Amino acid sequence: MNKVRVRGFRAEFFFFYGLLSILIFLFPAVSRAQDAKPVTPKLLPFQQDAPKPGNEEQLALQFYQDQDYGKAAELFEQLYEKKPSLYYYQYLIYSYVEIKEYGKAEKLIRKCQKAEPDAPRYMVDLGYVKFRSGDVEKSKKIYEEALKKLTPNQQQVFELANGFITRGENEYAIRTYVKGRQLMNNTYPFGFELASVYERMGDFKSAMEEYLNMLDLNKAYLNTVQDRIQMTLAYDVNNEKNEMLRKILLSRAQKNPDNTNYAELLWWYSIQQKDFDLALVQAKALDRRFKENGDKLVSLASLAVANEKYDVAIECYQYIVSKGTSCTFYNLSRRELANTRYLKTISEPSPPKKELEILEKEFSDELTYYGDDPENISVIKNLAHIRAFYLGKTKDAIDLLNHAIDMAGVTAAEKAKCKIELADILLFTDDVWEATLLYQQAYQDFKSDVLGQEAKFKNAKLSFYIGEFGWAKAQVDVLKAATSKFISNDAIALSLLISENYDPDSTTIALEIYARADLLDYRNEDTLALRALDSIPRIFGDHPILQHVLYKRAEIMRKQGRYAESDSLFRQLVKEYPDEILADEALMQAALLNEKQLNNKEKAMTLYQQLLDKYPGSIFVPDARKKFRQLRGDAKY
C-alpha cells in the first residue's frame, strides 16, 4: 500500500471515528460481557457515510444484509482490492468472522497494521477476531497490550476507545479514557466521552458524575452539560434518572456551598422538572450570591402562576418587594403579588368573604398608590370582578371598568379585556342587550386573536342562556377550530349539549329550563338554579339532558361548599352514564374534590387511576397521571 493510500485510509479512520462518537451518544446500547457472542449488525454505523453503491457494491450489501456472508466476502474482497477503504475493510472483517475465516481476517488486519503501526484500532480488531474464534484469553491479552501502548495523544485515545465501543467492549473503552486522562494530565479529561459510555452501559450515576466533573473543570461547559442531561432525561420513563440526578445535585450543592455551578444547574433542573419549591430555594440563593435584581424570581413566579402554584409565586413577589423601590421589578411585583393572591383566592370553590374583602382593600390600596396608570389595568379588572361577582357591588365594578376603558394610554387589547369583563358583569345584572354589544365589539376588534374568540364564545353562551339555541350552535360550531384549546373544548361541549337536546320541530322545554338554570347559576342564584334543575327529571323522566343536570347540580354544590354531596353527584354521573361525554370530566372533578377539599388522598388516587384505565383518550389523562404520581409520592412527576 503506497503512502498516499495510507494517508487517505488514515483520514477516513479519523472521519469515521468522529461520526461514530456522535452516533454512540445518540444511540446508547447496553454493554456486553466478554464471554457473550457479539451481535453482528446488518447495517453498520459507517454505512452512514457510505458512497453511493454501484452494481457490485449493491450486490455485496444485499448479500451481507441477507446474511449470505460467504458471497458478501467474495465481493468485498474484490472491492477492497480495487479501493482499500475503511468502508470495505469493515464489511470484509465482519464477513470473514461470520464465515469463520479467522485466518483471512487476521491476515488483513496485520497487513493494515503494518502499513499504519501507530493505529491502535487494528489491535482491537485483532482481539475481536481472537475472541470470535474462541480464544478469549488471547483476546484479553491483545486488549491489555493495546492499553499499555497508549500514549498521551488525544486522537489515539479516541481511536482506541471507539474501537472498543464498536466491538461492544465498553469496560475497555472506559479504561482507555481514564488512562488517557492520566497520560494527558487532565489537559483533556474525556468527561463527555466517558459519560456517553456510562450511559450506554446503563450506569446513569457515573455518567452524571462525569458531566458534573466537567462543570467543575470549566463553567463554560454549563450549556453543554444541560443539553446532554436534558436529552438523557427525555427518555426517563420510570423517573429513576430524575430522582438520581436530583440526589446527586443536592449532595454536591450541600458539600460545596461556595460552588455556584451546582446552584445554577439546580435552578435550571428544577425549572425543567417544574419542581417549583426547589426552584424557589435556588433562585433566592443565586439572587443573594450574585446580588441580582430578581429576574430569576420574576420568571419563576410567572411560570408558577401558569401552573397554579400560587404560593410559590406569592413568595417570589414578596421577596422582590422586600428589596425596596430601588429594585427594577418592584412595581411589577407589587401589582402581580395582588393579582396572584386574587387568583389563589378565587381558585377555591367557595372563597371566604373575609379573604375577598382583604383582597378588595389590597387592590384599592394599589390603585391609590399608583393612580391612573395603564400598567394597573389587570388590578382594575380583578377588583371589578371581586366587587361584582362576590361582594355585590356591581355599580362600583361597572364604574371602575368604564373608567379603565376611557383611561389614556390603555392598549386596544387591554380595553377589549375590560369590555369582556364589563359584558360579563352586565350579563350578571341581566342587562343582556348591552352585554352582547360589548362582546361583539371585542370580537370585531380582535377577530383573528384568542381574545376575539373568547368574546365570540361568551356571546354564543349568552344566546344559549336566553334560548336562541340555533344561533348559539352556529357560533360555537365555528369555534370548534379555535386556536385556544380551552375555547375549542368549551365550544365542542356546548355544541354537543345543544345538538343532543334541540330539535326545532319538537319541544325544547327541557333544554330551555336547563339553560335558565345555567344562567341562574352564573348569577349566583343557587337556590333558584337547583329548583329549576330538579324540575327537569320530575317533568320529563328519562331525558338525554339528565347527565348535564347531574353535572350542573354537582358544580353548584361544590360552589356552596357542600363537597361530600358534590362528590356523590359526580360519581353518580359516572356510574349512570359511563359512556357519555361528561363521564371522564365528572370523574376528574370527583378526584380533585377528594384530593383538595375532602382531603381523601387514597380515594383521589383510586379515581385518578380509574380515569386513566377507563378513559385513556380523555383530555384529562395528562393531569390525572401527574396528580396520581404526586399522591403516590414520586419525588418528581
The number of angstroms, rounded, from the C-alpha of 478 to the middle of its chain's C-alpha atoms is 30
Cα 551 to Cα 92, 533, 547, 580, 588, distances in angstroms = 71, 10, 6, 12, 12
pLDDT tens for residues 413-469? 999 999 999 999 999 999 999 999 999 999 999 998 999 999 999 999 999 999 999
Angstrom distance (rounded) from CA 130 to CA 142: 9
Q: Write out the E strands in 515-583.
A: none
Cα separation of 573 and 607, whole Å?
14
- Read off the C-alpha cell for 340: 396572584
Pull the grid cell for residue 253.
450543592
Confidence (pLDDT) at 635: 52
Give tens-digit pLDDT for 55-66. Answer: 888 999 999 999
What grid cell was written down for 100?
Answer: 469463520
Q: Which residue has the cell 329549576?
A: 532
Show the beta-strand stretches assigned E in 72-130.
none
> Distance between CA 222 and CA 262 in Å, rounded?
10
Are 458 and 497 a contacting pair, CB within 8 Å? no
CA angle at 290 for the pair 289 and 294, rounded to the nearest 5°:
100
Q: How far apart are CA 48 and CA 343, in angstroms?
A: 54
Burial of 27 (0-12, 13-18, 19+ CB in 10 A): exposed
Contact 420, 442 (CB under 8 A): yes
Strands (E) in 489-596, as ranges, are none
Q: How big is the CA angle at 228 (ends 223 and 229), to the nearest 5 degrees?
A: 100
The rounded distance, in Å, linking the Cα atoms of 388 and 376 is 19
Closest-CA residue to 80 (of 114, 108, 115): 108
pLDDT at residue 497, rounded to an integer: 93
**Identity of the residue numbered 132:** R
Residues 348, 558 contacting (CB under 8 angstroms): no
What does each C-alpha distance from 531 to 2, 350, 428, 497 come to in angstroms? 99, 20, 19, 20
Cell 383510586 sits at which residue?
606
Question: For the chain, how big is the Rg over CA atoms in Å?
Answer: 35
User: DSSP for 220-277?
Assistant: GGHHHHHHHHHHHHTT-TTSHHHHHHHHHHHHHHHH-TT-HHHHHHHHHHHHHTT-HH
Residue 36 DSSP one-character state: S
Domains of the chain listed by start with CATH number: 1-202 (1.25.40.10), 219-272 (no CATH), 539-637 (1.25.40.10)
Under a CB-based contact definition with an 8 Å cutoff, are residues 95 and 66 in contact?
Answer: no
Contact status, residue 572 vs residue 557, Cβ threshold 8 Å: no
| Nearest to 284, CA basis, from 295, 273, 272, 271 | 295
Other C-beta atoms within 10 Å of 68: how many? 14
Name the DSSP class of 422: H
pTM over 0.85: no
Helix (H, G, I), strand (E, B) or coil at 72: helix
CA distance 85 to 95: 15
Q: Which cell goes with 65?
A: 444484509
Nearest to residue 555, comparing CAs of 528, 584, 522, 577?
Answer: 522
| Alpha-carbon gap, residue 484 to 453, rounded angstroms | 8
The residues of the chain scoring below 70 in pLDDT are 1-54, 503-506, 635-637
Sorted by sequence, the CB contacts under 8 Å of residue 333 that are 6+ apart come out as 294, 298, 301, 316, 317, 320, 321, 327
Q: Which three cell numbers stand for residue 484?
A: 385556544
Long-range contacts of 607-614 (CB under 8 A, 24+ apart): 611/584, 611/587, 614/578, 614/584, 614/587
Return d(Cα 439, Cα 420) in angstroms, integer.
Answer: 6
- pLDDT given for residue 13 in this prediction: 43
How many whole angstroms separate alpha carbon 612 and alpha carbon 620?
9
**383, 353 in Cβ contact below 8 A?**
no
**DSSP state letter for 66:** T
The C-alpha cell of 7 is what?
494517508
The span from the CA of 294 to the CA of 321, in Å, is 10
| Residues 477, 494: Cα–Cα separation, whole Å | 9
CA-angle at 471, arms to 468 and 474, nearest 5°: 145
Q: Residue 311 in contact with residue 319, Cβ under 8 Å? A: no
**Could you tell me if 490 and 499 are in contact, meaning their C-beta atoms sit under 8 angstroms apart?**
no
CB 627 within 8 A of CB 591: yes
d(CA 550, CA 568): 10
pLDDT attached to residue 38: 42
In this structure, what DSSP letter does residue 49 have?
G
Residue 2: per-residue pLDDT: 40
Cα separation of 158 and 140, whole Å? 20
